[in-house]
Each structure stands twice: as C-alpha cells, then as structure tokens.
Amino acid sequence: MKFKITTALLLTVLGAQAQKVDVPTSFKNAAIQTGILIKNVDSARKEKPNFVSPRTVENGKLKMVVSRDWTSGFFPGELWYFYEYNKDSKWLELAKKYTEDIKKEQFTTTTHDLGFMIYCPFGAGYRLTKDTAYRSVIVQAAKSLSTRFNAKAGVIRSWDHSGTKWKYPVIIDNMMNLELLFEASKFTGDSSFYKIAVTHANNTIKNHYRPDFSSFHVVDYDTENGGVLQKTTAQGYANESSWARGQAWGLYGFTLCYRYTKNPVYLAQADAIAKYILNNKSTPADGIPYWDYNDPQIPNVSRDASAAAITASALYELAKYSKNAKTYKAAADKILYSLSTAYTSKIGDNYGFILEHSTGHRPNNSEIDVPINYADYYYLEALLRYDGKFNFK
Ligand code: GLY
C-alpha cells in the first residue's frame, strides 16, 4: 500500500527528523530505575511471596501481581532486554531468576495471554541463552494456548470471564499471542500451531477491522455457525471508538504475522493500520496518543504511553519490510524521543517504573495516567530496535 502523506503526517515526520534518541543515556537511566524497582519488588515479595511481578502504582503504592496476571511476564522480559543491551552477567542472573517465577503458567488454559506471560520472558531467554529448557516451556505454552482455538469460529478465545456479556470473546490484543504459536511451530515442526495462528489472523482481518482500518476491541463469535454475534469494547470509550492500545496491538500483531509468513496480506494490513494511527488528527504533536482516539473529552483526558511504546517498537520492525520505511522510522523516532525525554520518571520516583502516563483500563476507572510494566517493556524493546544494532526480530 502506498502511503498518502497528509499535513498531520508530514508535521510528525518533519518533527522527528531533528530528534535523535540518546539510547545509551536512556538505557542507563532505565537501568538505574529498574535497580530501584527490583529492591522494591524484593521487599514486597518478603510479605507476599506469590505476588511475583510489579505491574503499576495504585493509590500511591506498588502493585504486585501473581504469575497468572496477564502482565506478569513483562518484568522478567525487561531484565532480558537489559542483558541483551549490555551483556552484563548481573542482568543475566536477574533475568533467569525472575523468569522462573512465571514458568508454571505454561500449563494455564484459562486465558489467551500466554504470549505475553510466557513468550516475552522465555522467548528472550531462549534467544539469548539457547537453553532448551526455555524452549520446552514455550512449546508447552503453545499447546495450552491451542486448546482455546475453536475450528468453527476459526479463532482463539480470549477471555473466559464475563459470560453474560459475551459467548466467545476475541480481543484485538490476542494478535500478540500468535508469536508464541509461530515460534513453537518453528521449534517442533508441528504445523498445527502455524495453522491456528494464520487462521486466527485471517479471521481477525475479516471481523475486527472497519473500512478505515481501525479496530474493534472485542468481537463475540458464535461457535455453532462461526458467525459474529457482536462487535463491542471493554477497555475503549465506546463500541465504535478506537481504543489506542488496541490499534497498537493490531499493528504489532500483523507485523509479526508478516515476519513469520511473508504473506503480503499481513504486510498490507500492517501498512493500513499504520496509516490509520499516524494520520490520526487527535494525536498531539509529541506523538503520544490519548487513551482512545475518539474520546470526546480530548484534550482533557489521559494519554497512553504504553500504546505509543508498542507502536514505536512495531514501526521499527515494519520499517524493515514496508515501502514506507522512512516514514515509519521517522514516526517511531519521534515517539521514542518523546518517551525518552518527557515521559520518563524522575530517578527514584514511581517505585522504579521507567515511564509515566499510561492508561490501563479507563472505563473501569483503574490505572489512569500511571506507570505500567508493559509500557516499560515495549519502550526498552523500541530502544533496542532504534538503530538496528539489535536486529533480533
Ligand atoms: N491486553 C490487555 C490490555 O492491553 O490492557
């Protein structure tokens, strides 16, 4: 798809060209913050050992979560990224230690979030150490995730909760879990993981996207006949609105589908989603979107730095495949520059979380304008991808 350059996009890109991201300083500051976070995590775990990973700051306090929480893998995933960046054995030992705490989730079959929980830490662990024990965990997690695929609907079920609202809910976030299936297929030669991943991706293109390539959040399927029952939201402003993080998950998800399949349909989808995101007029000049592109209270609502970090990381990868490489790199640089200069915590603040100003679940009135672990994880990933030196995915 050829990119149509609008004024908004041109301003974004021109603004970005002047801004060089200082990766070494950003990593240095992030490492100091994460050292502080680790101390806070260790002291919280003395009181409640089952609460293994830091998620956010809630009511002024560090919020820890159990390994079953969908965000549990981001913290150990970040520790692997520090090791990847500086090859310091201190980070290797920390990454190994905190990754172990998530291991039992490889057997979980009651959520789709295994890509986040397992693939983020174990995928990096295997990539960086070649320890086959990590590979086994990934394969088992892919088996667990595959149990949630329904052949009639052709998609993986996301949530088991909220049975009164949805019969078979599939959320756009689910695209992120396909990486686990593609990798497991590579490791084992078992094409069933691959087939599930592409079937899910194809049905997501068909049912989750609007003509302007914005995405619904939740699509509810009828498993009797494979039809769609309803298209709604859980975390966005409205059923018809574009929840910012959902757009970012879709962009990243179809980019990774292209990485594994080289199917041009996925590249075209990712290009079209990028166009939607980058041309969106509601996003301020610094490139960090409001939590939902269609909240009528804009500009008096919270931003979502996590959506920005996911988008930047995805754009760096998409730039490797797309004709629009220059535009994507410039837009990602702009976002990353903003995050690394205006959205980072002051050293010592926020219990050691790296970024501020994310929005987790606004309709629930929770996690509004806070630090959050997945913003930090994708920020570090984007920093690693910035200059192509760590060409890992
Ligand atoms: N996957 C849940 C979220 O993005 O909040």
CA distances from 154 to 28, 78, 139, 143, 191 (A): 45, 33, 21, 16, 16
73 C-alpha to center of ligand 1: Å? 13
Q: Mean per-residue pLDDT for 92-121?
A: 98
Atom of ligand 1 nearest to the CA of 173: 1
359 C-alpha to center of ligand 1: Å? 10
Q: Mean per-residue pLDDT for 126-132?
A: 97
Q: Is 173 in the pocket of ligand 1 (CB under 6 A)?
A: yes
> What is the per-residue burial (b if ≥16 Cβ within 10 Å, else e) of 286-297?
bbbbbbbbbbee
230 C-alpha to center of ligand 1: Å? 20
pLDDT digit string (tens) for 333-389?
999 999 999 999 999 999 999 999 999 999 999 999 999 999 999 999 999 999 887
pLDDT at 2 over 60: no
What are the structure tokens assigned to 366, written together? 């929770």
pLDDT-above-70 percentage for the chain: 95
Q: Is the peptide bond before 299 cis (omega within 30 degrees of 0)?
A: yes
pLDDT band at 84 (very low <50, low <70, confident <90, very high): very high
| Residue 163: predicted pLDDT | 77
* pTM check: above 0.75: yes
Q: Is 275 in the pocket of ligand 1 (CB under 6 A)?
A: no
**Pocket-testing residue among 114, 119, 173, ligand 1, by greatest number of atoms within 8 A of Cβ:** 173
What residue type is 335 in one-letter code? Answer: I
What are the structure tokens assigned to 300, written together? 């008096």
pLDDT band at 16 (very low <50, low <70, confident <90, very high): very low
Whether 113 is catalytic:
yes
Q: What is the DSSP letter of 222?
A: -
| Residue 10: predicted pLDDT | 46
3-class SS of residue 365:
coil
Mean model confidence pLDDT for the chain: 95
202 C-alpha to center of ligand 1: Å? 21
What are the structure tokens assigned to 132, written together? 């086959």
**Pocket-testing residue among 65, 70, 158, 310, ligand 1, by greatest number of atoms within 8 A of Cβ:** 70
3-class SS of residue 309:
helix
Which listed residue (101, 173, 304, 376) is catalytic?
Answer: 173
pLDDT at 195 over 50: yes
| Residue 3: predicted pLDDT | 44
What are the structure tokens assigned to 177, written together? 């879990």
Whether 387 is catalytic:
no
173 C-alpha to center of ligand 1: Å? 6
- Per CATH, the number for 1-49+282-393 is 1.50.10.10
Q: In which element (H, E) is residue 159 found?
A: none
Domain boundaries, the chain: 1-49+282-393, 65-147
Q: Is 362 in the pocket of ligand 1 (CB under 6 A)?
A: no
Which listed residue (22, 42, 69, 113) is catalytic?
Answer: 113
pLDDT band at 135 (very low <50, low <70, confident <90, very high): very high
Q: For ligand 1, atom 5, which residue shows the shortest CA distance?
A: 360
Contacts 24+ apart (CB under 8 A), 288-292: 288/335, 288/338, 288/339, 288/343, 288/357, 289/244, 290/244, 291/237, 291/243, 291/244, 291/245, 291/359, 291/362, 291/368, 292/236, 292/237, 292/241, 292/242, 292/243, 292/244, 292/362
What residue type is 30 in one-letter code? Answer: A
